[in-house]
Each structure stands twice: as C-alpha cells, then as structure tokens.
Amino acid sequence: MDTKEFWEKWWQKIDDDGWEDTPSIFAQFAISYYPKEGRVLELGAGIGKDTRYFAQHGYFVVSTDFADKALEISKWESTMQKLMNIDYQNVDLKKPLPFANEQFDICYAHAVLHYFSHEITDQLFREIHRVLKDGGSFATLLKSKEDPEILNSLKLDENFYQTPQGIVERFFTIEEVQKETDGLFKPVVLDASEQTHETENATFIRYIGLKIPHGEQTH
C-alpha cells in the first residue's frame, strides 16, 4: 500500500467511526506564540480540526493535505460552521510548495513532517522558510526518539522505523531538530514531552521558531 492510499483509507475510517471537532493540544499551545492576525499555512491538515480552530480565531488559513478524503471532510465541516476564511488545496509535501515567496505569517505542521527522507525534510524546512515572511512563525510537532512506539516498530535505517500501523516514520532527537533548522529559524520553543499530543504515553518534540531573514541566515 502506498502512502497516499494509506491516508485515504485512514481518513475514511476516521469518518466512518465518527470524530469530535476539537483542536489539538499543540494548536492550543502554539497559537499563543502567533502574531495576533495574519495568514496561516497548515501542512498536512488532515480533516482540519486545527484549521478551523485558527480560522475561528480570525486567521486566514490555507489548509493543505494530499488525501482527497481528508480535504472533503474538512471542507464539509467548515461549510457547516460557515467559516469563510479558509482556502483548501491538495498539496504533496514531497514536491516544492506551490506558493510565492514570503506569503505567510505562520506555518503550522502537526505531526506530519516525520514521514519523509532526510532530503525531503531538508527541502521542506527550506521551503517553509521561503514562503514565510521575515520573522514569521513556524510551529511543528515531530515524533521523538523517546516515544514508546519505537519499541514496537521495525527499524529500517538510522532513525527510520515501520510502525505497527504499517507506515514509515522518522523519530527525531532535540539535537537533530536544532541542527536541521539551524540558520533558518530562531527557536522559541524546543522540547520533548508526553503532554503534547492526544495519544496516551506518546512523546513528541515541540518546535516553534521565527524565520531568520535571508541576509542573516547561515543554512
């Protein structure tokens, strides 16, 4: 099963089983570090729980995912809530982001950037830097090497594991996140905790950083 097929089936099952439209713990934490208004780019937004949370707080959100089913569910729910300040786009994160330079005040990625190779991850960090305005906020939640799930996963390569769900994930250390974002963003929050995600006993790394302007970056 390829990655897109996996996520299409995943979101179909979520929809079939029923779900509550509540924002994530990380979204409620990250918003306190955002500017009071502006444009948000959400990567891998899924069914849009955090998209709608940000929109309800007055931000204009460009909500992206590559799973058609996720976008369909998210659009429907937003229509029911009469939220007009959301633009939906199907975006494959393995490709350069289809947005102009310095277009967003905030980029948000909840538990989505740990599904890619080193090369694609580096490209994504550079692309996020490119589309953010100078001083813009970048907030992401990443799988940590301290996450107990790693014990039940099949190691494929250094830091890469196939989880019990059958999907390949990369597990980060704080030092690796610092190194890969160094010169692109100035970290404001960088830590690992079990209190960052809804999954019980899961450990994720929280990262919130501010874009370093082009003339000052060293990456």
In a domain, 39, yes or no: yes
Among 40-44, 60-64, 95-99, 168-172, the least confident range: 168-172
pLDDT at position 119, please?
Answer: 96
Cα 75 versus chain centre, distance:
18
Q: Could you give the CA distance from residue 81 to residue 139 in angstroms, rounded to a whole number? A: 25
In a domain, 217, yes or no: no
In a domain, 69, yes or no: yes
Q: 68-99: per-residue pLDDT in tens?
A: 999 999 999 999 999 999 999 999 999 999 99
Which residues are within 8 A (CB) of 133 and not within 5 positions of it... i.e. 6 or more apart? 102, 103, 104, 105, 211
Percent share of the chain, pLDDT over 90:
75
In a domain, 119, yes or no: yes
In a domain, 123, yes or no: yes
pLDDT at position 164, please?
Answer: 85
Q: Could you give the CA distance from residue 143 to residue 146 in angstroms, rounded to a whole number? A: 8
pLDDT of residue 219 exceeding 60: no
Q: How many structural domains are present in the chain?
A: 1
Average pLDDT, the chain: 93
In a domain, 71, yes or no: yes
pLDDT at position 96, please?
Answer: 98
Which residues are within 8 A (CB) of 86 and not within 5 positions of it... i.e. 6 or more apart? 48, 51, 52, 55, 60, 61, 62, 63, 78
* DSSP per-residue string spanning 61-77: EEEEES-HHHHHHHHHH
DSSP summary character for residue 38: -
* CATH number (domain holding residue 32): 3.40.50.150
φ/ψ of residue 167, rounded to 5: -105, 145
Highest mean pLDDT among 7-11, 139-143, 197-201: 139-143
Name the residue range of residue 34's domain. Answer: 3-142+171-211
Q: 112-147: per-residue pLDDT in tens?
A: 999 999 999 999 999 999 999 999 999 999 999 988
pLDDT at position 195, please?
Answer: 67
In a domain, 177, yes or no: yes
Phi/psi zone of residue 64: left (φ > 0), alpha (ψ -120 to 50 degrees), beta? beta
In a domain, 70, yes or no: yes
Sheet-wide strand order for 168-170: 154-157, 160-162, 168-170
Q: Could you give the CA distance from residue 124 to residue 27 in angstroms, rounded to a whole number? A: 20
Please, which pLDDT band fits residue 163 given cuts at 50, 70 and 90? confident
pLDDT at position 202, please?
Answer: 84
pLDDT at position 196, please?
Answer: 66
Q: Could you give the CA distance from residue 166 to residue 122 in angstroms, rounded to a whole number? A: 24
* Rounded average pLDDT over 34-56: 98
